[in-house]
Each structure stands twice: as structure tokens, then as C-alpha cells.
Amino acid sequence: MFKITKTMLTEEEIKARVAELGKQIEKDFEGQDLLVVGILKGASVFVADLIRNINLDVNMDFMSVSSYGNAMESSGSVKILKDLDVDIKGKNVLIVEDIIDSGLTLSNLTKELSARGPKSLKICTLLDKPERRKADIPVDYVGFVIEDKFIVGYGIDYAEKYRNLPYIGIVEDV
């Protein structure tokens, strides 16, 4: 039976780190435009908290892409289920993810978005699991580097459950 056995990151730890990331992004983009792109569904909670810590004129948009594990790995392209509403040509774009694991989602997505001619394209992830990386992608902002455990909460699901937890927990088969 799958159960949340431990807390990996408390609500307070996440809140403090998200505030730091927001301030860093604010500093880096001072005086510039910024389009924050959240990747659905996992990043929705993080992106909502993150933008409230960036005191700049921020625009927000969302994309939904298909999971890896089939044709995407071999074709090297990402299946877009919901595309951006806006044209990113000439804009500073910050992709916001909840977790980077194999890196395949972002490696394919950045190829697709770079081809649209943004002024800059940066990546921010709350969690980074480097142990499982298959595609080497440059990540500009990382909340926490974590060990290879299956986690849930703060937007991240297990079979669509637990996205509403305010903390990040470890799921184990007990």
C-alpha cells in the first residue's frame, strides 16, 4: 500500500525558499519584461506562490505537455496539449516547473520554445532530482536539490491525488 511516510520539505521551508527565488528573479529581471510560463499541472501551485514574490510587471501563461515514455523520447519532440496564448518572440521567458527528473520534458520543450525566438529563455524548478537525469539541461533557478525518492504535494501528484498538500512528502510502498 502506498502511503506518505515522511515529510521531505515543510510548508515553512518551501515558503522561505520560494521567497528567495522570487527575490533573485526580481533582481535578475529588474527593468525588463518577464513572461512566466507554468507547466501544468504540477507547477501550478509553485507558480502561484512564486509570482507573488516577484515585484515586477510579470505576465503569466501556462502550457500542458505530454509525459515522456513513448514516441517523444525517440522523436525528440514534445506533444503540446495546451499551447501558450501569447507569442513569445522577443520576450524574456521563464519556464517554471515543479520537478526536473529525467530532464526529457524540459529538454524537448526548450527546443520548441527556443525556435519561437524569445529574447531569453530561462528555467526555474522547485525541485531537482539530478540522479535520474537523462538529458542535460541548464537550470537557472533551483529551489531544492533532492534525492531520488517519489514525492508528492505542493502541486505534485500520485495518481492525481495529493496536489493540495501544503508540504512535500515522500511516498513509499509499506
Ligand X SMILES: O=P(O)(O)OC[C@H]1O[C@H](OP(=O)(O)OP(=O)(O)O)[C@H](O)[C@@H]1O
Ligand Y SMILES: Nc1nc2[nH]cnc2c(=O)[nH]1
Residue 128 binds to ligand X (criterion: CB under 6 A)? no
The residue sitting closest to ligand X, measured at its beta carbon, is 42
Q: Tell me, what amino acid is at 58?
A: V
Q: Cell for 13? A: 521551508
Residue 100 binds to ligand X (criterion: CB under 6 A)? yes
Residue 23 CB, nearest distance to ligand X (Å)? Answer: 24
Of 101, 141, 151, 153, the residue at the interface with ligand X (CB under 6 A) is 101
Selected catalytic residue, list 49, 87, 98, 101 = 101
Residue 45 binds to ligand X (criterion: CB under 6 A)? no
Partner from ligand Y, ligand X, none binding residue 158, C-beta < 5-8 Å depending on class: ligand Y
Determine the straight-line distance between the first and last CA of the chain, rounded to whole angstroms: 5
Partner from ligand Y, ligand X, none binding residue 150, C-beta < 5-8 Å depending on class: ligand Y
Residue 48 binds to ligand X (criterion: CB under 6 A)? no
Three-class secondary structure of residue 127 per DSSP: strand
Lay out the sheet containing 80-82: strands in order across.
80-82, 58-65, 34-40, 92-100, 120-128, 141-145
Of 4, 9, 18, 39, the residue at the interface with ligand X (CB under 6 A) is 39
In the chain the beta strands, taken as DSSP E runs, fall at 2-9, 34-40, 58-65, 80-82, 92-100, 120-128, 141-145, 151-152, 168-173
Site residues (CB under 6 A) for ligand Y? 99, 101, 150-152, 156-158
| Pair type for strands 92-100 and 34-40 | parallel
Nearer to ligand X among residue 26 and residue 144 (C-beta): 144
Q: Check if 101 is active-site.
A: yes
Q: Cell for 168? A: 512535500
Nearer to ligand X among residue 22 and residue 42 (C-beta): 42
Going by C-beta distance under 8 Å and a sequence separation of 6 or more, which residues neighbour residue 147?
129, 131
Partner from ligand X, ligand Y, none binding residue 62, C-beta < 5-8 Å depending on class: none
Summarize as ranges the residues that interact with ligand X (CB under 6 A).
39-42, 67-68, 97-105, 157
Residues forming the active site: 101
